Amino acid sequence: MAARSLNTAAILFAASLLAPHIGHAQTFKAEKFEIKGDGGTDYVAVEAATGRVFVSRATHMMVVEGPTGKVLGDIPNTPGVHGAGIATKSGHGFTTNGGDSNVTMFDLKTLAVIKQIPVMQGGLDGIMYDEPDDKIILTNHSRPIGTLTAIDPKSGDIVATVELEDTAPEGAAADGKGHIFVNNEGKSTIQVIDVKTWKATASWPLAPCQGPTGIAYDKASNRIFSGCSNTSVVVDPNGGKIVATIKNGTRVDALGWDPSEKLIYIPNGGQGNVTVVHQDSPDKYTTVATVDTFAGAKTIAVDPKTHNAYLFQPERGPAPAPAADAPKGRGRGPQGPIVASWFIVVKH
């Protein structure tokens, strides 16, 4: 059954408006599509040039038409995949495969795999395209120290490796002025990377933020947005000062930014919603809506052209009872089978 025709129509969720924005309220709705497929998930990534969304599914990467939820293709053999970096200019995409410490380089038009790029540091996790510097940037949960890896999107060659101060680096964002900002989830800091020397030049504490993950940079206001559980922060990169805080939910693992609409999207997997915040000025932020999505949906990507925000989350049935002799540990335990795969589009 096609995703767009499931249950005759997509399921709509109403956004509960919390505050006005610049003289008028904003309305949002979340539309759900069942896209099928196996595997859990981590990041989603959008290609603004085509409106396609790349959805990680544990061992493969699904490619979805953003506005409609139609499945367009699939990239197989990406064990332990976390996310995708999309370099439209070079015509290449890249995935971080934590299972075999390889980056899959593929053709954006055909989705055909070009080559596998081994990353010896391991711990592959976050990935983004640094458009100003024309680099694919990886943030690796490597041991004994976290690392950042820079890849040439044309050739697929690794051009730099940077040691970080934390084994859990998460999102990265570039300012177009020769700097990349990296959230360190373990130490709750931002590190600044100089793209000329490929060295870390500063580390800024983010309190009251704890466990920063998603990150975005706004060129117009020269501000960094760091997504954190419960309290996200806005940072002035001229020294790393916290200039504003934002209240949001829990299990935040990404952050979306729409520069023309001046809207920040913070996904809250614990509550199954997205906090939408308007930038009134560089140092003032107003929550304009909380949009219901689906429990567990904690990563997000925003298309700056359509202004849609995209999330994905599998729905699972009841978990099987653990075996009587199963060892007790700190893990989440057995999970139930996937009964639905929800691709979620937030529109306004």
- pLDDT tens, 280-304? 999 999 999 999 999 999 999 999 9
Rounded CA gap, 120 and 136, in Å? 16
What pTM value is reported for the model? 0.91
The residue extents of the domains of the chain are 11-72+252-317+337-348, 77-204
Sign of CA dihedral 38, 6, 270, 214: positive
pLDDT of residue 323: 72
Token pair of 29, please? 């709705």
More confident residue, 334 or 36: 36
pLDDT of residue 11: 40
Buried b / exposed e over 289-320, threshold 16 CB at 10 Å, is: bbbbbbebbbbbbbbeebebbbbbbbeeeeee
| Mean of the per-residue pLDDT values of the chain | 92
CATH of domain 77-204: 2.130.10.10
pLDDT of residue 332: 64
Residue 139, H or E segment: strand 135-140
pLDDT of residue 151: 98
